[in-house]
Structure 1
Amino acid sequence: MNPITQHIPRLETERLILRAPSETDLDADAEFFASDAAKYVGGPLRRDEVWRVIALHFGHWALRGYGYWSVDEKDTGTYVGRIGLWFPEGWPEPEVGWTLMTHATGKGYATEAALAARAYAYDVLGWDTAISLIDPDNDASKAVAKRLDAELDYHYEHPKFGTTEIWRHPAPADLVNGGMEAYA
C-alpha cells in the first residue's frame, strides 16, 4: 500500500465515498481540465500538468495532514470530482473546496461531500473557521457555498487568479448538524 494513501482517511456520505487521490483519476481529470469548465480552477491544463496536480494533492496531504479527497459515487464507483481541505502557502485561510467533473454537476454532490469535509475539518482537525475561495463569476460554486450556509465575507487579490471572493463558513458552534454524524 502507498504510505501516503494509508494515512488519508476514507469518508462516506449517503451517496459518496471520499477516498485518497489516485493516478487512476487522471483520465477523467485530464478530460475535465482540457475543457472550458476548468476555467475557475486553474484550467485549461495539459494532461502532463493534470498529472502534476494529482501529485500536488498528495504533497498537500503529506505536508499538512489533510487535503482534497477524490470522490466516487457509492452505487456506481464513478469518479465525480475532488473535494476537501486546502491551505497551501500563500492562501489567505484554510479552505473547504470542490471541483466536480461536468457529468456530476447539479446532483448535490459538491454540497454533500463538502459537508463531510467541513465536519472532518472541525471535528477531527479542530478548525474553528473555514473559507471557500470563489471566482466572482462562478455562480455554481457560490450556490454551493450558500447551501453550506457560507456567506460572502471579503474580496481577496489572488496573485494568479486576481480578485476572488472569500465565503466564510459557519463556525463549528454555529452548526446544528455539523458533527461527526454528518459523514458517519
Structure 2
Amino acid sequence: MPVLLQFETPRLILRQFTDADWPALHAHYSDLECTQFTFRRALSEGESWRAMSSMLGHWVLRGYGPYAIEEKATGLVLGTAGLWYPNDWPAPEIKWALSRAYWGQGFASEAVRGIQAMALECVPHLNLISFIHSDNAPSIQLAQAVGATLEKEVEFRGGQWQIYRHPKQRLGDD
C-alpha cells in the first residue's frame, strides 16, 4: 500500500505542504531555540521556504516524506512531522518539528503516534528510527514516550547523536 498523502488523528490533519504553509514553518525555522540541534542557527525566510521545498522533494525521491501538521480546530499549521531519509542519515526516520508556541500540548506525540501507525500499515518494511542530537532532551523524552528505544550513540556532523528505534508494532499490541 502506498504511503498516505493525508490522514487524521483526533486533533490533527497530517497533509502535503502547500506554498501557503511556509510562513507558519518559518515561525519554527527562524527560532534559534527550535533549530539549535538541527541547523544550529535560525533560518531566513528564503531558507525556510527551501527547507519546506526539500521536504516536498523528498516525497518525489523516496515515495514518502514529512507532512504539514494542521490543527483541526484552528486550521493553523503547527510544524512538520513524517518520514525522512536524507542520503547521509543512518536509516529512515520519523522526524518532528513544531513551532515553540505549540510545545508541551501533546501535538508532537499525537502526530508521531499517527505516523507510526500509518508506517506500520503502509511501509512495514521500513525499520524506523528517530535521529536525535544527544543534548536534545525534549526530543529524547518524546521518542521514549512514543515507545522508541535507544539503540546507540554515533558521531555525526561534529556532534553526538542518538539513534532511537521505533517499535515494529503498535504499543499495546501483542
1:12 equivalent in structure 2: 8
Residue 31 of structure 2 aligns with which residue?
35
Structure 2 residue aligned with 1:24: 20
TM alignment of 1:1-184, pairs within 5 A: 9-37=5-33, 38-42=35-39, 43-159=41-157, 162-172=159-169, 175-177=171-173
Distance of 2:151 and 2:166 partners within structure 1: 9
Q: Which amino acid counterpart does residue 154 of structure 2 have in structure 1?
A: Y
The alpha carbon displacement at 1:111 in A equals 0.7
SS in 2 for 1:93: coil
Distance 1:162 1:54 in 2: 24
Checking the alignment, whether the CA contact within 8 Å between 1:22 and 1:54 is kept in structure 2 is: no
CA distance in 2 between counterparts of 1:146 and 1:31 reads 26
How far does residue 35 in structure 1 lie from its aligned partner after superposition?
1.6
Instruction: Give secondary structure in 2 for the equivalent of 1:26.
Output: helix
Q: TM-score, normalised by structure 1?
A: 0.85
Matched residue SS, 2:162: strand
- 3-state DSSP of counterpart to 2:5: coil
Contact 1:98 1:114 in 2 (8 A): yes
- The gaps in structure 2 that reach 5 residues or longer are none
Structure-2 separation of matches of 1:8 and 1:125: 10
Counterpart amino acid of 2:155? E
1:128, CA displacement in angstroms? 4.8
The unaligned stretches of length 5 or more in structure 1 are 1-6, 179-184
Show CA shifts across 1:51-94 (max 9, x none). 11111011100011100000011111111110000111111011
In 2, the alpha carbon distance for the partners of 1:77 and 1:127 equals: 33
Report how many aligned residue pairs link the two structures: 170
CA distance in structure 2 between the aligned counterparts of 1:106 and 1:78, rounded to whole angstroms: 17
2:147 and 2:171 in contact (8 A); partners too: no
- Between the aligned partners of 1:68 and 1:106, the Cα distance in structure 2 is 21
Aligned 8 A contact 1:128 1:171 in 2: no
